[in-house]
A and B are shown apart, each in its own frame.
Chain A
Amino acid sequence: MHTAIKVKAQATALRKVLGEKAHKLSHSQCLEIVSKIDGYPDWNTHIADINKNQQRAEKFLDEMIEAEVELSHAKFTQRFEEKYLVNFTESDFLRDMKKIQDIFGSYVRREFLGCLAGEKRPGDDRYPNQVRYVWRGFFEKNDALITVGIYHNRDTYHVCEARYH
């Protein structure tokens, strides 16, 4: 899983490396090749998937930030699988929100930094195909590194991690 900037940079690099070997290809051909290496049929499908995934992550994070402002546990956890919420009750949520408010203050804006694969542990298949999205969050008092983990299970996208570091 890469960002659009990263994939375009890979295509630019591929064109340069092959050019040095006297194989001339256009940038669009290199985008197609890089997409196929990553398992996509073509560049259009690849970029559409990247955009869709990033938009979904932005939307889920927007919902969680709204939930923080409204102090709504239900809204904050709406994308989590219920079975994993036993250790994150409403009082845990309210305690965390108080802590976040003390350390970071109110949310101002964010910048997307990129994404990475979620950690895999042997025998743990709770979060299949998890991708972790990373932002620099600007808050009133402090910057925070925001991570949100999203996985896909039975046709639904769920959140498994939402943290401020």
Chain B
Amino acid sequence: MWSKDKSRAKKLREVLSGFDLELEQSECNEVILQIDKQSHNIAQAPNINDDKQLAEQYLDELLEGVVEVDYAKFTRRFEEKYLAVFTEVDFKKSIQSRFEEMGDYVRREFMGCLNGMAFLGDDRYPNQIRHVWRCYFDKNEVLISVGIYHKDGTYYVCNAGSL
């Protein structure tokens, strides 16, 4: 359990006893985890759609790629032709420094989405939608954005990173 959640669970136990509810610490730990998970679903219910589910799936894969330092996994949803400017060496270098600043991944909350940037004559990422999350890591909170576009029947990732 994340250290911040542990202290919130401890506080919850104290507060509940003021309401004449005596819960074990382990139960309070579970309640804190549940309310964070469920409140996210409640707050975001109107936004849940196929596109968002796909974005969540792609972000899961990207994060797994980061945790496992697996370039192939991280880039599997990118169009290969755009990877020339993002090699395995670039990937390893960028995640190593970011990891030190952020710590381990804990959880995330979807914040919303916006249209990707469109420039005259640039049709690399047609109909791109940028999805944005508040991500909790051990040491820091980070804003993460992942762009997803649709081309020739396939959904691809572009512009994935922390802001």
Contact = CB atoms under 8 A, between A and B. Distances in A.
A103 B142 CA distance: 25
A14 interface: yes
Interface residues of B, number: 40
A119 B39 contact: no
A129 to B, nearest CB: 13
Given A5-B43, A36-B11, A116-B141, A134 B111 contact: yes
Contact of B140 (A14, A17, A117): A117
Interface stretch (A21-29, A48-56, A66-74, A82-90): A21-29
A134 B27 contact: no
Interface string B1-26: 00000001001100110010101000
B126 interface: no
Contacts of A145: 114, 130, 132, 143, 145, 163
Contacts of B31: 14, 17-18, 21
A165 B114 CA distance: 11
B39 A165 contact: no
A14 B130 CA distance: 31
A17 B35 CA distance: 7
B114 A120 contact: no
Contacts of A25: 19, 21
B57 interface: no
B34 interface: yes
Contacts of B36: 10, 13
B86 to A, nearest CB: 18
A13 B35 contact: yes
Contact of B35 (A10, A111, A144): A10
A22 B136 CA distance: 31
A158 interface: no
B34 A113 contact: no
Closest 10 interchain pairs by CB?
Answer: A13-B38, A9-B39, A9-B43, A143-B114, A9-B42, A13-B39, A13-B35, A10-B39, A143-B115, A113-B112
Given A10-B36, A36-B11, A141-B118, 5 more contacts: A9-B38, A33-B12, A34-B35, A116-B142, A145-B132
Interface of A: 5-6, 9-10, 12-14, 16-18, 21, 23, 25, 29, 33-34, 36-37, 103, 111, 113-114, 116-121, 132, 134, 136, 141-145, 147, 163, 165
Interface of B: 8, 11-12, 15-16, 19, 21, 23, 27, 31, 34-40, 42-43, 101, 109, 111-119, 130, 132, 134, 139-143, 145, 163
6 contacts: A13-B34, A23-B21, A36-B11, A119-B141, A134-B132, A145-B143
